Amino acid sequence: MRLYGFNNLTKSLSFNIYDVCYAKTNRDQLEYIAYIDSQYSSDRLTNILYKLTDMIGAHVLNVSKQDYEPQGASVAFLISDKSIEREVAAAKAEEEKKNGGEPPELILGHLDKSHITVHTYPEFHPETSIATFRVDIDIETCGHISPLHTLDYLIGSFDSDIITMDYRVRGFTRDVKGRKLFLDHEMTSIQDYIDEATLDIYNAQDINVYQANMFHTRLMIKELDLSNYLFNTNAYDLTPEEREVILENLRKEMIEIYSGKNVFHK
């Protein structure tokens, strides 16, 4: 596809994961929050975003990160689809060509900037013995960069029980004949960019608005291994009845998060 000028399309991916855990006592819940804060500090999140930026072929221009009290962390990356050195060198070469081989007195380099942000939200309620951890990652790109190919890496970077993803392409660009292009790649579902082995683990649902280039996919894990959801509790110390109740409460919590509404809590 030959374009006229710069690719002006903006591609936005919102990636949200939820990790659900059973923490029996208030002390367990507080310790779970402390554990999550240590596991997903701003430093670790920064490393994840560096890898993600490299995967989409972008270059980091600026990094801002913060750990919050009593819990949570945020990281923001300002990115470009070209390195500063390459952009400046290209601008210099173009100016020298215009000036008949003479070096320019001033070089103005345009960088097509975008951003990546991540925020964490650990939470619990003292009456439920259920604690959750949410991660929101937003990738805003312009030009030819697309964030969809990072989905398997993002899913694998977190313990993901529920995942919601939104992808939207905004604006338009033009081909060499002046025809507007509102999408520069084929797109039917976000699921097309997720490995089949990963999809097998989850129940998946799409809600897409093709006319507006808006795509939404949500995933919820199919099978629950109770030992993976107990914090400071040994499954062998629980009676079969207790295990059944805990699994039921975990599943109810996931269904409500997946549905986006109170199903069991009126």
Please name which of 86, 82, 46, 88 lies closest in space to residue 63, comparing C-alpha atoms: 46
**Residue of 21, 59, 129, 142 with catalytic role:** 142
| 110 carries an active-site annotation | no
Q: What residue spans of the chain are helical by DSSP H?
A: 26-39, 42-55, 84-98, 151-157, 196-199, 240-259
φ, ψ for residue 133, nearest 5 deg: -130, 125
Q: What is the DSSP letter of 102?
A: P
Q: What is the DSSP letter of 46?
A: H
DSSP assignments along 234-257, one per residue: -GGGS-HHHHHHHHHHHHHHHHHH
Q: What are the helix and strand counts (H, E) for the chain?
A: 6, 10
CA angle 197, 200, 206 (to 5 degrees): 115
3-state DSSP helix/strand/coil % of the chain, to nearest 5: 35, 35, 35
| 41 carries an active-site annotation | no
**Residue of 114, 129, 146, 157 with catalytic role:** 114
| 21 carries an active-site annotation | no
Longest Cα pair distance anywhere in the chain, in angstroms? 85
**Residue of 42, 80, 119, 144 with catalytic role:** 119
Long-range contacts of 42-50 (CB under 8 A, 24+ apart): 42/66, 42/67, 42/73, 42/74, 42/75, 45/73, 45/75, 45/118, 45/120, 46/75, 48/118, 48/157, 49/75, 49/77, 49/116, 49/118
Cα dihedral 169, 62, 111, 84 sign? negative
Indicate which residues carry an active-site annotation. Answer: 114, 119, 142
